[in-house]
Structure 1
Amino acid sequence: MDGDTFQQWKNQCLNKCDFSKKGSVDEDISHVVSFINSQERYFTTSSCSGRIILFDAVSDCPDVQKQNCSWLFVTHQKCQREDVVRGLEKSVGDATFKFEPFVLHVQCKQLDDAQLLHTVAINSGFRNSGITVGKKGKIIMAVRSTHCLEVPLSHRSHVFVTDQYLDFLVGVANQKMEENLKRIQRFSECLHAALQAHEEKCSLKEESDKKTVYRRRRKRTQDDSVTDSSQNTQEHHENTEEEIDCDLLFLS
C-alpha cells in the first residue's frame, strides 16, 4: 500500500461527517478509537461500543431492513425492564429485543498490520473478527463478537411475553453488556501492549541493521586498507629489484 494513498484515505475518512444515528463515537470506546487513529498505520471507519435495542419492524416484511424499522428504545449501557415496557407500548408491528456487542472496523496500511490487530482481537475474546481486502487494496480489520441476543416480543403490536420473562431477558442482556465492556477493556490493554512490543521490535531491528551496515563498512575499509598495504609492499619490492638491477648494470 502506497503511503500517500493510505494517508489520503485516512484524512478523508476522519474529516467526514458522522452519519450514525448518534452522530458521535460512543463514550466507552472513545479512548480506543482515539488511540487507533493516532497510529500511523491505522484508522477507524466505523464503531459501536455495544447496545441494547428494542425495534419495531413492518409485519409483512420477512427481511428486516433498517429502512423498515423504527427504534422504540436503545441504550449503550445496561437497561431496565421499565424501558422495554415503555417501548413495547409504542409498538405497532413486530417488536424485537436485541443485544449487539462491540464492533469496530479499522483500515490498515499493510496486511501485517491487520494480522497484528486480528491477533489482539481474538485474544481479547472477539472470536468473530476477520480481515477483508477490497478491490482497491483497502485492508479492513473487523473486530466482532458472537455473544449476541435477539428475541421477538410481539407480533402486530400483540405482546406474547410476561413481565417475569421480560425481567429474565433484561437480566441476560445486562450480563452480556457487562461481559462486553470487560472485553473492550481487555482489547484496549492488549492493543497497547502489542503495538508497544511491535515498535520496540522494529527499533531493535533498525538498530541491528545500522550495526550490520557499520560492520560491513568497517570491514570494507579494513579490506581496502589491507589491499593498499599489499600494493605498497609489492611496489616497494619492485622498486628495490629495479635499484639492484641498476647497481649490477653499473658494476658490470
Structure 2
Amino acid sequence: MADFKRWKEQRLSRADGSRKGSVDEPIAGIVQLLNGYDCFCTTSSCSGRVVVLEQPPLPPTAEDTTGFEIKKQNCTWLMVTHQICTIEDVLTALQEATDDAIFKFEPFVLHVQCEELQDAQLLHKVAIEAGFRNSGITVGQKGKIMMAVRSTHCLEVPLSQKGKLMVSEEYVDFVIQVANQKMEENLKRIDRFYSSLQFALENRDRSSSSTLEEKEENNTMDSYRRKKKSKGAKKDDECTSPGKIRGLESEDETESNLNIFH
C-alpha cells in the first residue's frame, strides 16, 4: 500500500508526456475520479480521435525478428481532432501530404495501474458492460497490475499515395461520416463508463463501510457478552463459595448452643 501510494505520487507529479500535454476534456472526470482513489493510477489516456497522418512507405524487407511488420516510424500528423470533423478539415490536411496519407478513427483508450487484482477486476467489469469489449488486465512478472479500457470500433483508410489523392472527394466524405458516427458512439460509451464507474465505486465504498461497521458492532457485542459472562460467573462463585457456607453454618451452630444454655 505504502509503496504503491509513493509511486503514484511520483507518477502524477510528472509533466504530461502526451502530444497534447493534458487530459482530454471528455474523460477528465474519469481520470480525476480514478486518481482520487489510493488504489488506482491512470498512466495514459485518449478520449478518442480522428486523425490524418502521413507515413513514408516501408522498404519491402522491413520486418522484425518475429516476422511481423515493424511499426512505421517518422509519421507526420496532418490533422487531429477529438471531436466531429468535416470534409474541409480532411481535404485541407491532405493537401499538405507528400507521402502516403491515412485517415484513422481511434476510440477511447485508458490505461490504469491498480494496487490489487480485485481493483482491476472492478474496472474491467465496468468497461465491458459500457461497451469496451476489448478491455483487459495484464499482470507483470513483478506483480504490476495494469487495466486497459479499449474497444474494437476503429477505422483506418488509406487516402493518398505519394501525395496524390487516390479516392474521390465523395468517398472521403463517406469515410468521414462513418468516423463521425463512431465518434458519437464512442462518446456515449464514455458517458456510460463514467456513470457505471461512479456507481460501482460508491457501492464498494458503502459495502466496505457497512462491513467495517458490522465488524465493529460484532466486536462490541462480543466484548459485552464476555463481560456479562464474567460477571455472572463471579456472582455464582460468591453464592457457592465453601468458605461462606461454612461461615453461615458456624453462626447457626453458635446461636443454637447459646439457646440451650440460656
Q: Same fold (TM over 0.5)?
A: yes
What SS is found at the alignment partner of 1:106? strand
1:32-65 CA deviation, whole Å, 9 max, x = no partner?
2112111222121111010001111111255463
Deviation, structure 1 residue 165: 0.6
Deviation, structure 1 residue 242: 5.5
Q: Which residue of 1 aligns with 2:205?
A: 199
Runs of 4+ off more than 6 Å: none
Deviates more, 1:146-155 or 1:65-74: 65-74
Deviation, structure 1 residue 158: 2.9
Structure-2 separation of matches of 1:118 and 1:243: 76
Structure-2 separation of matches of 1:38 and 1:44: 10
Counterpart mapping for 1:1-252 below 5 A = 3-61=1-59, 63=69, 65=71, 67-235=73-241, 237-241=242-246, 244=249, 247=253
Instruction: Output the amino acid matched with 1:159.
Output: L
Deviates more, 1:35-44 or 1:120-129: 35-44
* Residues 57 and 69 in structure 1, CA contact (< 8 A), matched pair in contact too: yes
Deviation, structure 1 residue 175: 0.4
Which blocks of at least 5 consecutive residues in structure 1 are unaligned?
none
**TM-score w.r.t. structure 1 length?**
0.91
* Residues 59 and 155 in structure 1, CA contact (< 8 A), matched pair in contact too: no
Structure-2 separation of matches of 1:242 and 1:119: 75
Structure-2 separation of matches of 1:229 and 1:48: 72
1:139-180 CA deviation, whole Å, 9 max, x = no partner?
111111111001111222232211111110000000000011
* Residues 111 and 148 in structure 2, CA contact (< 8 A), matched pair in contact too: yes
Deviation, structure 1 residue 109: 1.7
Structure-2 separation of matches of 1:64 and 1:58: 13
Structure-1 separation of matches of 2:72 and 2:217: 59
Deviation, structure 1 residue 88: 1.6
Deviation, structure 1 residue 114: 1.1
Which blocks of at least 5 consecutive residues in structure 2 are unaligned?
63-68, 258-262
Structure-2 separation of matches of 1:146 and 1:197: 29
Structure-2 separation of matches of 1:156 and 1:53: 18
Instruction: Output the amino acid matched with 2:246.
Output: E
Structure-2 separation of matches of 1:160 and 1:142: 36
Deviation, structure 1 residue 72: 1.3
Deviation, structure 1 residue 13: 1.1
What SS is found at the alignment partner of 1:7? helix
Structure-2 separation of matches of 1:161 and 1:198: 52
Deviates more, 1:89-98 or 1:206-215: 89-98
Instruction: Output the amino acid matched with 1:241.
Output: R
Identity score, percent: 47
Which of these two proteins has the greater Rg computed from alpha carbons? 2
* Count of residue correspondences: 247
Structure-2 separation of matches of 1:210 and 1:54: 59
Deviation, structure 1 residue 66: 5.6
* Residues 56 and 71 in structure 1, CA contact (< 8 A), matched pair in contact too: yes
RMSD: 1.9
